[in-house]
Structure 1
Amino acid sequence: MRRADLAAAALLAGLTTIVFVLLYGPLMVPILSSFFAVSHGTVDWSQPTLSAYAALTGNESVLAALWTTLVVGACAVALSVAIGTGLALYYASPMAKGREFLQFLLFLPFLMPPIITGLALLIFFREIAFERSLVTIVIGHTVFVLALVYRTILTRLQSLSASLVEASYDLGASGWQTFRLVLLPNLSSAMAGAAILAFALSFDETMITLLVTGTQSTLPVRLWAMMRLGFTPDINALVALILFFTTALCLGAVRFLMPASALAGTEQG
């Protein structure tokens, strides 16, 4: 290899290292400090302890917000996967009408700034006299993540051979049997991957939640409120657990969304 190539490779490696340090370096501070004692805002690196994790189990307000976040995420995922799958099947149907307008309606809330989507939902709920509650949060999150779920499932659906459905109908299967026995097994991995990505987006959503929430707060909203007074050491433990959880979600999404041929090649390598 020539010296110029070696220099270019070294330069790219150095830039990559700098980018990774800038992106993930700040995340390591609360993670590392969660394993050490904190006194008067100063981390005592000589005293490793799990007291922050023990204190987290007793922080009822944060745990309640976390539970609300999980409930909202699970409901939003279930609704978005069900609705997104139905809309993807409709779009792929040769008899579908207004498909492009349908896609425009689906992608508009996702592409607009979250504050615009949240304000639109807030005005809508006020006009119909629908009281803000956990239900309105679920609706807001479902509207936000639906486009991602729909597109992920539609992409997998369009990659399937049309002969699969034709053969199913030729053998006498009904529409429901074709969906349950032919389409659903082929779409299951895309649905699972879309559900993981949708849950990750729902877990992190703050602006829409702030505008449509009632008396119950999700974890991002709770942390937003705590910023005024400062975070307690147990929040460092919470950050570490959430980072581990979201990393596992991302790896799971990659596992479900990556083509089987690519996974086979990775395992062989």
Structure 2
Amino acid sequence: MKQRAPFIDTLLGLTALTGLIALYAPLLAATVLSFFQIVRVRGKLGFAPFSLEPYTALLTNGEILSALGTSLIVAVVASFASLVLALMFAFYFVSARRGLGTLMQVMVFLPFLLPPIITGLSLLIAFREAEFARGLATIIIGHIVFIVPVVYRTVLVRLQLLGGSLTEASLDLGASHVQTLFHVILPQMRPALISGVLLAFAISFDETLITLFVAGSETTLPIRLWAMMRVGFVPEINALATLILLFTAAITFAIGLIQRGQAERA
């Protein structure tokens, strides 16, 4: 077997290292600057002593807390509504005729595959034609349309892996379809359901472009952060970015643990 030259391995390693630095250096900079602010001392730039003042100012900012509350409400409602819809679509796909199931999948995935600006603009036009006032409800609907495909794919893969033998065995033993669903199928799909909801929550919490079209007078946390940056960077922005980073990392870690446990049991 022909081995690669050491030069190629070194070049690939340096390329990977450069990519990692480009990805994580801005995140690290925001985290450091949330604790050590840059100050000018005697004409020279330096770092101020360690301080939690940006976090204190952030937690006492009523506008940010209000936007955070809106984002949490939208993310929770949209995630669980998407889970219900994804389950309905997944059960329909495994039982429907091939042509109808494929058509349904195209309709489910299309809003996610389109550029967010097109999806947001389409929703804006639909709400305007229906004379539906923009607000919290339209944000939730917009997020549901966007994140249903993510949950649907996660749920469908697990449902297809289960096959039909569990359902047939449960029905043969005298259980009804409802009992089979709640006592046999859904417990077996629990890891996929949890990971799908967590992933949908993270995407919804971070969604900005579609929200801009359908928010109206409501403000979510990403929109509030964008508005704050328009008037210049303040220490609270670094603190907010750090907290969002930690929150997203925690969700990602939880999803990884759930999928790892699911793979070990498979």
TM-score (normalised: structure 2): 0.92
Which letter maps to 1:16? A
Q: How far, CA to CA, are the matches of 2:168 and 2:265 in structure 1?
A: 29
Task: Look up the match of 1:218.
Answer: 220
Name the counterpart of 1:160. 162
Name the residue aligned to 1:35: 35
Aligned ranges for residues 98-113 of structure 1 at < 5 Å?
98-113=100-115
Unaligned runs of 5+ in 2: none
Residues 142-151 or 246-255, more deviating: 246-255
1:267 corresponds in structure 2 to none
TM-score, structure 1 normalization: 0.91
What CA deviation, in whole Å up to 9, does each residue of 1:146-174 have, x standing for no partner?
Answer: 01111110011001132111100100111
Q: Give the deviation of 1:261 after TM superposition.
A: 4.0
Distance 2:183 2:25 in 1: 47
Separation (CA, whole Å) in 1 of partners of 2:94 and 2:55: 49
What corresponds to 2:203 in structure 1? Answer: 201
Moved more, 88-97 or 48-57: 88-97
Write the letter of the residue equivalent to 2:199.
L
**SS state of the match for residue 37, structure 2?**
strand
Q: What pairs up with 1:1-269 in 2 under 5 angstroms?
A: 5-39=5-39, 44-93=46-95, 98-258=100-260, 260-262=262-264
Name the count of aligned residue pairs. Answer: 262
Partner amino acid for 2:34?
S
Q: Secondary structure at the match of 2:219?
A: coil
CA shift, 1:6, in A, is: 4.1
- Matched AA of 1:218: T
Checking the alignment, whether the CA contact within 8 Å between 2:228 and 2:237 is kept in structure 1 is no
Q: CA–CA distance in 1 between the matches of 2:218 and 2:262?
A: 42
Letter in 2 for 1:242: I
| 81-90 or 221-230: bigger deviation | 221-230
CA contact (8 A) 1:36 1:43 kept: no
Query: SS of the counterpart of 2:20?
Result: helix
SS at match of 2:49: strand
Looking at structure 2, the residues matched to 58 and 259 of structure 1 have their Cα atoms a distance apart, in angstroms, of 40
- Identical amino acids, percent of aligned pairs: 45
1:7-40 deviation per Cα after TM superposition (whole angstroms, max 9, x unaligned)? 4433332221111001111111110011113447
1:55-75 deviations in Å (ceiling 9; x for gaps) = 111111112111111111001
| Structure 1 residue 97 displacement after superposition | 7.2
**Which residue identity is paired with 1:54?**
T
2: CA distance, partners of 1:228 / 1:105: 37
CA contact (8 A) 1:68 1:218 kept: yes
Which SS does the other structure have where 1:47 is aligned?
coil
Aligned-partner SS, 1:227: helix
Partner Cα separation in structure 1 for residue 45 and residue 244 of structure 2: 21
Quote the Cα distance in structure 1 between the aligned partners of 2:183 and 2:86: 19
Alignment gaps of 5+ in structure 1: 265-269
State how far apart, in whole Å, the 2-side matches of 1:135 and 1:196 are. 21
Cα RMSD (Å): 2.2
CA contact (8 A) 1:109 1:143 kept: yes
